[in-house]
Chains A and B, each alone.
Chain A
């Protein structure tokens, strides 16, 4: 049972425009959410996180939005750069499940120069 879903396997965006990556979850007990970025032949690297007490968190060009009522998470990248081309995973955790992370299947972002 996939508790965290990324329904778009891929996304292409022009350089300089906004990239929006989406993530939906089913477990209302999730209280901590993260985004990871993964380049080929490398492990995922942490990008940004948000706790359920917030609805927005910003870090430079990256902003994560959380809509708890819709059980929806999104990552905005503005402006997009070619170096942002990678696979992005969202993940969620809950103390009820031992805080283990549940990952989505990933969205491959291509930023076109």
Chain B
């Protein structure tokens, strides 16, 4: 099976711009979660999508949003970029995701390195 893919791998933007990142999950996986990784904070959960619906959300401002398509591919959008948004953005896919009664193993993509100048 092909793994989780993320595009683009690297991105440079300037403050105030917006950016869209893409994630294609492993075939058959319906859950996609997004994380932000920074050196001081580790991986921080942004949100999870399951069957096109946002099911969980972390503690990030509304500038961070996402969506999931019927083929389970997901996009994450960050508007009005700030310098502090520079980070590695990782997506992870799993079969059932962060369901109420169980937790699946998540498979991560290689990430998109976003630099905001």
Interface residues of A in 33-58 (CB under 8 A from B): 34, 36, 41-46, 49
Interface residues of B in 86-101 (CB under 8 A from A): 90, 92, 98-101
In the bound assembly, the distance between CA atoms of A112 and B40 in angstroms comes to 26
Q: Are B106 and A99 in contact (CB under 8 A)?
A: no
In the bound assembly, the distance between CA atoms of A99 and B41 in angstroms comes to 19
Q: Are A44 and B40 in contact (CB under 8 A)?
A: no
In the bound assembly, the distance between CA atoms of A5 and B3 in angstroms comes to 29
Name A105's closest neighbour in chain B (CB-CB). B42
Asked if A98 is an interface residue, CB under 8 A from chain B, the answer is yes
How many chain B residues touch A (Cβ–Cβ < 8 Å)? 28
Known: A32-B103, A93-B98, A98-B98. Contact between A43 and B110, CB under 8 A? yes
Q: Which residues of B contact A (CB under 8 A)?
A: 4, 33, 35, 40-45, 48, 55-56, 58, 90, 92, 98-103, 105-111
Known A44-B108, A101-B33; 4 more pairs at CB < 8 Å: A43-B90, A98-B55, A99-B103, A100-B45
Q: Which residues of A contact B (CB under 8 A)?
A: 2, 4, 6, 32, 34, 36, 41-46, 49, 89, 91, 93, 95, 98-106
